[in-house]
Homo-oligomer: A and B are copies of this chain.
Amino acid sequence: MNLCSYLKMKKHILVVPGDGIGQEVTAVGKKVLEKIAEKFGHEFTYDEALIGHAAIEAAGNPLPDETLEKMRASDAVLFGAVGHPKYDNDPSAKVRPEQGLLKMRKELGLYANLRPIKLFDELLSASSIKPEILRGSDILFFRELTGDIYFGEKGRENDGDTAYDIARYSTYEVERIARKAFDAAMTRGKKLMSVDKANVLETSRLWREVVQRVAKEYPEVTVEHQFVDSAAMLLIKDPRRFDVVVTANLFGDILTDEASQIAGSMGMLASASIGDGTGVYEPIHGSAHDITGMGLANPMASVLSAALLLDISFGLKEESDAIINAVDLVLKSGVRTRDIADADTPKDKILGTDATGEALLSYL
């Protein structure tokens, strides 16, 4: 038996495209995984399942039990996006695509959402932020994903005239996400920023206490506490001040979308949602119904999600790097999807979803 057969991996991957451009971009992500398997001699098997609006249409449920079972049974999930404009304009709809996403996060215990914000050199000019401010930015967000105001009780009072949402955090929830972030800080610049609103919120005061306590286990890491309003400002003013960031669910939602502008476009950003079971890998961008079906979506975020999947869930660092390298080479070749093109991009270099996917495969 040669070395290769030891290193050969058998893994089962569930593809969950969800809604809108989720379909188009995960198709490219999957192709990239297939190519990697072929090139490195792994054996990946695939299945597909429904979530979000697609699942409501097919089964009346944004997260059918069958999907959840398939997720639990798989080694990793490549996820697309959920959402549909229909519900956005109808705030009173009882069944909503996002419920599927949130239930998945809770059921799979995906408490840590990692969002690396890394700027590809070639995209330095694609951002609305000045290149001299951006150059060298490299941020890793740890967004808590199964607590906060997302999962507390919510409802109406006074005959529907008053609405409420409860934000809640327990010590163990803050501890486990803080540890993940501190562990990552130890492998990077040994700098951690914790973002909260401890001057107003009790959940943030608990958050800050726990982070201060966990910090004692990591004496080498320099910790900075920022209020969320100030962090939102500093992220644009001085992105290089950020290295590893840990924050609550809602603040993480807002700050990571904002931070996408550091990378030039949301279309370039992947995320990993991990916990104790199956990990889920998905773009930061949403279902983007305005361009759905037009073949215009940037598949890079899904492809980079596949890279995170290989690295984090399967420990396949070399394979993961091969994908990141291919993305880099495609960008260097001048190819751009519409969202990252600028005035200097030649028309014939502006490609759609599938052609960008082909270009990526050719560099693998």
Interface residues of A (CB under 8 A from B): 83, 87-89, 91-92, 96, 98, 102, 128-130, 133, 149-150, 152, 154-156, 158, 161-171, 197-209, 212, 225, 228-230, 232-233, 235-238, 250-251, 253-258, 260-261, 266, 286
Contacts and interface: CB of A to CB of B under 8 A. Distances in A.
A191 to B, nearest CB: 18
Contacts of A129: 128-130, 236
Given A128-B236, A149-B165, A236-B258, 11 more contacts: A91-B204, A91-B209, A92-B209, A102-B200, A149-B201, A158-B170, A162-B169, A163-B202, A228-B254, A236-B261, A258-B258
Contacts of A266: 233
A257 B232 contact: yes
B166 A162 contact: no
A164 B202 contact: yes
A261 to B, nearest CB: 4
Contacts of A169: 162-164
14 contacts: A89-B225, A91-B206, A91-B209, A98-B199, A102-B200, A162-B171, A163-B205, A164-B202, A165-B203, A166-B166, A197-B250, A230-B257, A230-B286, A233-B258
A55 to B, nearest CB: 16
A59 to B, nearest CB: 20
A286 B236 CA distance: 18
Contact of A171 (B130, B161, B168): B161
Contacts of A204: 91
Nearest to A286: B230
Nearest to A262: B236
Given A130-B128, A236-B236, A91 B205 contact: yes
A258 B89 CA distance: 27
A357 B223 CA distance: 37
